[in-house]
């Protein structure tokens, strides 16, 4: 089954304690991305990756890091989380289709609370 998995699904942590949210896809997609969803703001792109070792900033990259050492994995790292990073996070991967363009597959989401 084609899917994007994220772990953990729920996380409560304290300010300053480094954490990693993992993301993995089994569709051999080259493009992967992280988003955060906040009430009234929709989804905002944090980082994306066009391929292994190729990453770039989205609209809201401050306070986040990513790495892409393998095609299937795209972890999101918060080195020093702060309360304003409390949010719902989605990982996504994208495969191109014959006519061009992208269909984006989303993971189930990770709800992060930073106290």
Contacting residues toward other proteins, per CB under 8 A: 31, 33, 35, 40-45, 48, 50, 56, 58-59, 88, 90, 99-106, 108-109
Tokens of 75: 């972890």
Nearer to other proteins, 82 or 97 (CB): 97
Question: Least separation, in Å, of the C-beta of 41 and other proteins?
Answer: 6
Q: What span, in angstroms and rounded, lies between the C-alpha atoms of 105 and 95?
A: 8
Q: How far is the CB of 18 from other proteins (least distance, A)?
A: 26
Is the four-CA dihedral 57, 45, 81, 71 of positive or negative sign?
A: negative
Cβ distance to other proteins smaller for residue 46 or 78: 46
């Amino acid at each position: 089954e084609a899917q994007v998995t994220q772990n953990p699904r729920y996380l409560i942590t304290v300010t300053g304690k480094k954490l990693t949210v993992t993301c993995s896809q089994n569709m051999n997609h080259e493009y992967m991305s992280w988003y955060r969803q906040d009430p009234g703001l929709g989804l905002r792109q944090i980082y994306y990756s066009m391929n292994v070792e190729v990453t770039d900033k989205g609209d809201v990259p401050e306070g986040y890091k990513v790495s892409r050492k393998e095609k299937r994995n795209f972890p999101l790292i918060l080195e020093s989380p702060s309360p304003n990073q409390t949010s719902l996070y989605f990982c996504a991967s994208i495969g191109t289709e014959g006519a061009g363009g992208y269909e984006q597959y989303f993971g189930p989401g990770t709800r992060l609370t930073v106290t």
